[in-house]
Structure 1
Amino acid sequence: MLIAVALRCGPAVAEDQFAASLKLRGGYDTNPEFSTYSGVGGSAFIGTDTALAAARKEEGYSIGIAAEANTTNYANRLVTPALGAKVILRGMVGNDDASLSSTSTIANVSTYNLRQTDLVQSFKAEAKLDSIKVFVTAEGAQSSLNQTNVIFQDFLPAPHQYLRGTIIPGIAYVRDKFEIGTSVNLSARRYNPELDDFGFRRDNERIEPFVFAKYSSDELSAYASVSQLFGQWHDVDFSNVSRTMFDANLTWRPKPFTVELSGTRRANETTFPISPITIDTALVAKASWQVADTWKVSAAAGYFTTEYLDSPFASLTRTVAAGLSKDLPDNYTVGLDLTYAKGTLISGDKASALIITSSLTKRFSPFDTSAKPTAVAEPKITKG
């Protein structure tokens, strides 16, 4: 159905773009639920990853759709299948001097420890005068969140439901390949019902001022932002939050190599009884070598932490991965990936996992017959 919607954009003319991919993968995971060895045990698995993007651009407007879905099923019936899907609809009217854009997002995730649904609608107005750009984004969201819980030893009887409203005004200086600016994120969340299963009020308001900078060229792309999150909760048992956040990434492309470095620290919602939010930090390094026109070698390392505020609890995961892929005729790619994960669970117990995955990917790009197939196999660096 999504492909049919995308293809209704119009006939195959220069302004139309369409790309899609289908990835089949299978392998073995020694610890699919990333728990202690008293858990469910290892399992063979099979999975699919599908994605598409379609757009049409005309003078004065553009429309587009992006969609992705993934599934992982395990031979061990004790392991919960993993499902995920996201659809993004975008539209824009205007030009480089002034524009108004709309983005609608529907996302759903279901795994052994997380069930989450998000409906997000945002509007962004932007105007540019010489090198000065001003913008404002208004966003509304409805979310449902359920996580496994140490008290119930399973998911909550009912998910947390909440509404979020956000306004983000900002200003930036733009010059050639460089941009620097500042903005502030003003948001409020309201839960229904007001009291959760443990009697806490999770309603809150947040202010988060940002400074950011970005640079882009053929060989180097970089982005960095630093912000200070101030959050005030309505429940006296939740401490107000004041934490420094960051988001940075660097991509360097000295052919035939590519190096990617990224780091983020973000606040995420949680159903953990005594914590208002979690602070999640991720540090990732990736490198790839295009050994030949059709062969690619890649490697990655990751460091991930989750801190549960107002409690002594935290989790830590480290990962290393390596991958090999080969492009075949007709936009096919085969890949082989090996990932090792080791960490400390919120309980303080140690856990580790080894995952080996083989994959076959098919790419579709009917409007771009001159494009060479590109390897998509990358080592998986996350766990859980």
Structure 2
Amino acid sequence: MFMRAVGSVFALFCALLNAVPAVARDDTAETLVSTAVVGLRGGFDSSPTNSKGEKGSPTLTGFASWNYLRGTMQDSYGLDLLLIDTQYDPRQLAASRQHTLTLKHATGIGENLTLQSSLALENEQTWSRRRSSLTWRERLNLSLGSFRLFANAEARLAALNERNVFAHGDFLPQDENLATLGITPGIAWRQGDTEIGVSFMASRTRFTNGIDYLGLRRDNYRLQPNLFVSTSLKGASFEASLSPLQIIFPDKEFENEKTLLYTAKLRIPNEWLTLDLSSGRTVEDTTLPFAVINLVTQHEGKLTARFNDTNALSLSLRQKLEDYLGLDAKTRTSSIGLDYARGLGNGMTATASAAWRRTKDTGLEAVPAFVVQLGLQKQLDFSEPGKGAKKGG
């Protein structure tokens, strides 16, 4: 039923778009942006699962990314690909991976109206979390002088399974499957490098299994107004958003939740030093017992010293708090890291990093750990400069 409804909406949307006459534009310059990064990192993690008494494991991470965009102002298409695989000692831990593929297309409907479409596939596998998802997004943008009106529509199918680390539990016998439909209209005003806007998101999440393994229904509605701003001054940039979120459980088997979400990012460059500060609070779905929402709060500070064109050193401080609402269980992770990068020419970069972290789960002892890694990566650029597209046909 869900996929049938999505297909009907898509067919209606395409019919409406075909009924709108396209407006001819003079800009037919076609450009191609195609960049890739491949690399390998190896090292040692003293506690890859942040468990008390765990033995350390060597690690080997291979990664690759590709960003491709081709087209004109009227029509463009592209893709973003990210592949990360980390191998551990197989006697201790299975490999972890993160794979994402996003297909994108933009179409000019009128002189000031564009439609952006995307289809994203994601697969995440770690020792404590398994998640796969398929997300379809449509976005309309209308430019009216200094104002921008937009409307987003999203449909997502996901399979989720998490290990209950607080009770030393295993994965569920089967994944929880959930479908989400959402829409977000909004308006923004831009003047120079400053933009201010508001939006409102309304969504419905339905767990297709019906009831969970405890016999509870997790279906919920979410309402989220959002105020956002971004600006820059003398090389420094700042962006922030504020979003009061309300989560409603129509079956009354979980308590309704109200919480304030936010993001804030600040970058201050000063000659050879750059300071980056960020803070945010978001929500994630979870399959842990008696909890549907994981409230994630993160703070990070990073100071980067770029001594010359080939040498850079970064010091990072991070803190992450995961609060499983309704379960009275939290995970707090604090870390400090040092990263060094040296350019070797011809797109090659050598890296070295070391980090210490401390993880504390509710009801369990705090676990300290350290990680050291050496790496090598290469950047490839296949981009082509813009050129006039052929007319006619």
Is 1:67 aligned to 2:81, yes or no?
yes
Aligned CA distance change for structure 1 residues 258 and 139 (closer, same or farther; 3 Å): same
Deviation at 1:368, TM superposition (A): 6.7
Distance 2:371 2:317 in 1: 14
Matched, 1:347 2:347: no
Question: Match for 1:147 among 154, 162, 167?
Answer: 162
What's 1:83 paired with? 97
Query: Identity over aligned residues, as a percent?
Result: 25
Q: Report which of the two structures shows the higher radius of gyration computed on alpha carbons.
A: 2
- Residue 151 of structure 1 and its aligned partner are, at CA, apart by 5.9
Distance 2:365 2:249 in 1: 31
Aligned-pair distance for 1:62? 1.5
Structure 2, unaligned runs of 5 or more: 1-28, 386-393
Report how far residue 175 of structure 1 moved: 0.9
Shift of 1:361: 0.4
> Aligned pair count?
355
Counterpart residue number, 1:273: 289
C-alpha distance 328-96 of structure 1, shift in aligned 2 (>3 A)? farther
- Alignment partner of 2:163: what SS? strand
Q: 1:106 & 1:216 partners in 2: Cα distance?
A: 33
Deviations 1:129-181 (A, max 9, x none): 11111110000000010001256821000011010001000011111111101
Task: State whether residues 31 and 384 of structure 2, in contact with CA within 8 Å, keep that contact through their aligned partners in structure 1.
Answer: no
1:122 and 2:133 correspond: no
Is contact 1:48–1:72 with CA below 8 Å preserved after alignment?
Answer: yes
- With 202-211 and 72-81 compared, the bigger mean Cα shift is at 72-81
The one-letter code of the counterpart of 2:226 is F
Instruction: Tell me, in whole angstroms, the C-alpha distance in 2 between the residues paired with 1:15 and 1:312.
Output: 52
2:258 maps to 1:233: no
CA contact under 8 A between 2:202 and 2:223: conserved in structure 1? Answer: yes
Task: Give the aligned partner of residue 7 of structure 2.
Answer: none
Q: Map 1:49-68 to 2 at 5 A.
A: 49-68=63-82
Task: State the SS of the aligned residue for 1:15.
Answer: strand
Find the partner of 2:61 among 18, 29, 47. Answer: 47
Instruction: Give the counterpart letter for 1:73 in structure 2.
Output: Q
CA positional deviation for 1:74: 1.2
Name the structure 2 match of 1:112: 127
Q: Which shifted more, 51-60 or 132-141?
A: 51-60
Structure 1 residues not aligned, in runs of 5+: 1-12, 370-384
2:182 paired residue among 162, 166, 177: 166
Q: What secondary structure is seen at the aligned counterpart in 1 of 2:309?
A: coil
Instruction: In structure 2, give the amino acid aligned to 1:256.
Output: W
Cα RMSD over matched residues?
1.7
Are the aligned partners of 2:180 and 2:203 in contact in 1 as well (CA < 8 Å)? yes
SS of residue paired to 2:270: coil
**1:382 aligns to what?**
none
Cross-structure match for 2:37: 21
Provide the residue aligned with 1:295 in structure 2: 311
Residue 223 of structure 1 is matched in structure 2 by 239
| TM-score (norm. length: structure 1) | 0.89
Asked if 2 retains the 8 angstrom alpha-carbon contact of 1:43 and 1:76, the reply is no
Which residue number corresponds to residue 32 of structure 1?
A: 48
Q: 1:367 to 1:347 in 2, by over 3 A?
A: same
Query: What is the aligned partner in structure 2 of residue 214 from structure 1?
Result: 230
Q: CA offsets per residue over residues 47-90 of structure 1, 9 Å max, x none?
A: 11110111113131211111000111113521121111000111
